Amino acid sequence: MKDFLKGLKGGIPIGLGYLSVSFAFGIMAISLGFEWWQAVLISMTNLTSAGQLAGIGIMIHPAQYLDMLLSQLTINIRYSFMSVSLSQKVTPQFSGIKRWILGFFMTDEIFAVASNEKEVSVKFFSGLTIFPYIGWTLGTLLGSVLGNVLPAVIMNALCIAIYGMFVAIVVPSAKESKSLLLVVGVAILLSCLFYYLPVLNTISSGIAVCICAIVSAVLGAIFFPVKEEENG
């Protein structure tokens, strides 16, 4: 019980952060033409910011199912790494079906908090997931319902929230590592090429993000292989 409460408490700031970011996701989904229940259902079944953002961008086009699959796999491959990393830290009781259920809740922030622990128990991890999940769902609901009520100028401003969160994840690490900063710079440069150059800008944004992310990460792995301790 102590472990569970500790996890619950650790999830509060994440839940609050998710509330604001998913509020923005709700607004973006509505502005793209989704119904409120669709936005909420997407959030409840995916629980991921970048994947959902790319996902709704693809969904508005008919029948780009392969694009959807490829973009989700690329954008979310980072969770595999987090899952592998955390799988080394869990208690012996954390096994079998518990891993298959709780694996659903692996997000950047939940991973970040959990991996700060020496050992991750089932109770701690369960507690940790609760507020983030509530925050993500509730925020999407509020954003997609209230989004229409808010003045346009406020809705526009909220659309930057999700990107603000991405910046908050990347910048602190890039500050610590020159090679990461350089790799991130390459990713941004490639992404700009795909956005602005003719021919390249006809490629769907989901695929473009995949290509940019994979190419720059491969270059990083070739030229700046990471030392053990950098690798979480």
Partner 1 sequence: MDNKSFFIYLLIMAGSTYLIRAIPFGAMRKKIENKFIRSFLYYIPYTVLSAMTFPAALYATGNIIAASFGLVVAILFAIKGKGLTVVAVAACVTVLLVEIVMTYIF
Footprint on residues 39-78 left by partner 1 (CB under 8 A) = 41-42, 45-48, 50-55, 58-60, 62-63, 65, 68-69, 72-78
| Nearest-approach distance from CB 5 to partner 1, in angstroms | 22
In this structure, the number of other CB atoms found within 10 A of the CB of residue 58 comes to 19
| Nearest-approach distance from CB 141 to partner 1, in angstroms | 17
CA distance 132 to 135: 5
**Whose structure tokens read 């490639």?**
190
How far, CA to CA in Å, does 128 sit from each of 24, 38, 169?
A: 23, 26, 19
- 6 and 127 in contact (C-beta within 8 Å)? yes
| Nearest-approach distance from CB 2 to partner 1, in angstroms | 24
Should residue 150 be labelled a site residue for partner 1 when binding is judged by CB under 8 A? no
Should residue 79 be labelled a site residue for partner 1 when binding is judged by CB under 8 A? yes
Residue (5 or 69) nearer to partner 1, CB:
69
Restricted to residues 110-149, the positions that interact with partner 1 (CB under 8 A) are: none
| Helices first, then strands: H and E counts in the chain | 11, 0
Restricted to residues 192-231, the positions that interact with partner 1 (CB under 8 A) are: 192, 195-196, 205, 208-209, 212-214, 216-218, 220-222, 224-226, 230-231
Phi/psi of residue 109, each to 5°? -80, -40
User: Nearest to residue 23, comparing CAs of 159, 151, 134, 152?
Assistant: 159
Residue (4 or 79) nearer to partner 1, CB:
79
CA distance 135 to 59: 24
Site pattern 154..193 for partner 1 (x: CB under 8 A): x-xxxxxxxxxxxxxxxxxxxx----x--xx-xxx-xxx-
Residue (119 or 230) nearer to partner 1, CB:
230
Cα radius of gyration rounded to whole Å, the chain: 19
Residue (2 or 44) nearer to partner 1, CB:
44
User: Nearest to residue 131, comparing CAs of 13, 51, 6, 49?
Assistant: 13
Q: Which of 4, 6, 108, 134 binds partner 1 (CB under 8 A)?
A: 108
CA distance 47 to 22: 10
Site pattern 88..107 for partner 1 (x: CB under 8 A): x-------x--xx-xxx-x-
- Taking CB under 8 A as the binding criterion, the range among 1-9, 113-121, 139-147, 150-158 that sits at the site for partner 1 is 150-158
Should residue 27 be labelled a site residue for partner 1 when binding is judged by CB under 8 A? no
How far, CA to CA in Å, does 215 sit from each of 208, 210, 211, 218, 230?
A: 11, 8, 6, 5, 20
